[in-house]
């Protein structure tokens, strides 16, 4: 198995490191446009293989996509990170151009690859990659739901003073302020979370989750990387090992939840063929209203991309 990670910045390097450490693929190729950057990161990861005892070979290249040929999975992390005061939507013009160019190069050398997009604004960059790739919707997806759900579960574990391992949750919608956490589908060791925490505290945790990325940008001056990189690696693992994991993943909806043509996070089954099934939950009226609001927000940014001069 061969996995390519495009973008050797913090998120991409973290993803490559987790893939290597967990021996998820035989070879991980790290690609970046900055001369020597990917080579250095890959060499550093390879040099700790005798310490952490793994065999996965990591290789770095500068803008050479021939080295990525025949990759089974490609993770795209390329693009500008958010800075304080910058919304994800501010990134759209520059990052859409980057994601399109990367996707074209990836498909040229690995036409059968499954593509995972991590670049922001996530939902719209998934749209850009999918349209550019011309692949089935099941083979081009966005990583956001796993990250957002992880934040939600981590905050709950902290509040309840329990292991995050025992918390399961579902989260839907766009990546950002309009995401839709679903407390009704959140459990702690099988116990509904609503039986363990009062409504006010739960609402506060949901709000913190919605602004989880912004909180880290304010603290560090840039976007997160440990959790996003690990989340992308978890998706790769589910595909490479055909695990049939149920994860919230960004996909183009084609009638599910009454939505067509918008890229949103929904629960799916992830396996060797990519997205093998989209799971439709029986949302109540309030939950559906939140999902529709999220759809509207994502659709507006998709329209921005569609109306840019390059797309006219």
CA 12 to chain CA centroid, nearest Å: 11
**Structure tokens given for 60:** 């770095």
Record the tokens describing residue 81, joined without a space. 């990170």
Residue 218: how many other CB atoms lie within 10 Å: 11
Structure tokens at 122: 């996530």
d(CA 206, CA 149): 10
**3-state DSSP assignment of residue 51:** helix
User: Can you read off the two tokens belonging to residue 136?
Assistant: 């089935």
Q: Which of 41, 100, 175, 252 is catalytic?
A: 175
Rounded to 5°, angle at Cα 170 from 267 and 222: 95
How far apart CA 2 and CA 77 sit, in angstroms, is 17
The answer to whether 253 touches 266, Cβ cutoff 8 Å, is yes
Strand 140-142 relative to strand 73-76: parallel, antiparallel, unpaired?
A: unpaired
d(C-alpha 204, C-alpha 213), whole Å: 15
Closest CA to 263 of 212, 297, 214, 223: 297
Strand order in the sheet with 191-192: 167-168, 187-188, 191-192
- Residue 175 catalytic? yes
Strands 187-188 and 167-168: antiparallel
Query: Which residues belong to the active site?
Result: 175
């Amino acid at each position: 198995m061969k996995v390519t990670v495009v973008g050797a910045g913090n998120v991409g390097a973290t993803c490559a490191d987790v893939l290597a450490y967990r021996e998820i693929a035989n070879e991980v190729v790290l690609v970046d446009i900055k001369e020597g950057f990917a080579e250095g990161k890959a060499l550093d990861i390879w040099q700790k293989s005798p310490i952490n005892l793994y065999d996965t070979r990591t290789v770095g290249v500068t803008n050479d996509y021939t080295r990525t040929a025949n990759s089974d999975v490609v993770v795209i992390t390329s693009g500008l990170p958010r800075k304080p005061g910058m919304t994800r939507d501010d990134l759209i013009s520059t990052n859409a151009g980057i994601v399109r160019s990367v996707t074209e190069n990836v498909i040229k050398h690995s036409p059968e690859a499954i593509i995972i997009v991590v670049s922001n604004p996530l939902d719209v960059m998934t749209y850009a990659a999918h349209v550019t790739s011309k692949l089935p919707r099941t083979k081009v997806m966005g990583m956001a739901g796993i990250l957002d759900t992880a934040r939600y579960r981590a905050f709950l574990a902290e509040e309840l003073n329990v292991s995050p391992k025992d918390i399961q949750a579902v989260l839907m919608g766009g990546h950002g302020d309009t995401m839709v956490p679903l407390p009704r589908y959140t459990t702690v060791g099988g116990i509904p979370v609503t039986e363990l925490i009062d409504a006010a505290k739960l609402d506060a945790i949901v709000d913190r989750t919605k602004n989880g990325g912004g909180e880290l940008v304010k603290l560090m001056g840039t976007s997160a990387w440990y959790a996003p990189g690990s989340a992308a690696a978890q998706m790769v693992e589910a595909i490479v090992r055909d695990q049939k994991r149920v994860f919230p993943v960004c996909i183009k909806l084609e009638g599910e939840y009454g939505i067509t043509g918008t890229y949103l996070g929904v629960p799916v089954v992830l396996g060797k063929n990519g997205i093998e099934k989209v799971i439709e939950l029986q949302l109540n009226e309030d939950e559906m209203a939140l999902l529709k609001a999220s759809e509207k927000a994502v659709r507006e940014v998709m329209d921005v991309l569609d109306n840019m001069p390059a797309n006219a």
